[in-house]
Amino acid sequence: MKTKHTIFLLLILCIQYRFAFSQSNTTFNRTRITFHARNKTIKQIFQIIQSQTSFHINYSNTDIDKNLQINLDYNQEPLNKVLKDIAQICHFRFLVFKHTICVAQNSKNEQVINLKY
């Protein structure tokens, strides 16, 4: 009897775990963003993205060019398109896990956005 309860609880936990990850993936794929940035640093761009979405962006100051200024214009564009554009300009790759976007240098031309469940 105790084993049945344990299996049942594990099954419920697995379902909740999968549901939480599918929700974050759906959120990422449905998130749209609008901004017009002229001569903004990548830090400023990340702040704009964080202010308009439920995502937090993690990066190391050593991975970003503090002097690079970019011009970007988006009107209700999907977040993944915005990140792909930034990845091309700045040679980044992004790892998205739940509501966190991790930034790293992309020196090997790896896939620029990886969703982890």
Q: Is the pLDDT higher at 13 or at 58?
A: 58
Print burial letters for 56-82: b (CB count within 10 Å at least 16), e (below 16).
Answer: ebebeeeebeeeeebebebeebebbeb
pLDDT band, residue 95 (cuts 50/70/90): confident
Task: State the pLDDT at residue 112.
Answer: 65
50-66 pLDDT per residue, tens: 999 999 999 888 888 88
Q: What are phi and psi of 98, to 5 degrees?
A: 55, -115
**Cβ neighbourhood burial of 98 (10 Å; 0-12, 13-18, 19+):** middle
Per-residue confidence at 13, pLDDT binned at 50, 70, 90? very low
* Residue 48 confidence (pLDDT) above 90: yes
Question: For every residue of 94-112, which 3-state class applies, written as one string?
Answer: EEEECCEEEEEECCCCCCC
Of residues 74 and 64, more confidence is placed in 74
For all residues of the chain together, what is the average pLDDT?
78
Cα 65 from chain centroid? 19
Q: What is the CATH number of domain 2-116?
A: 3.55.50.30
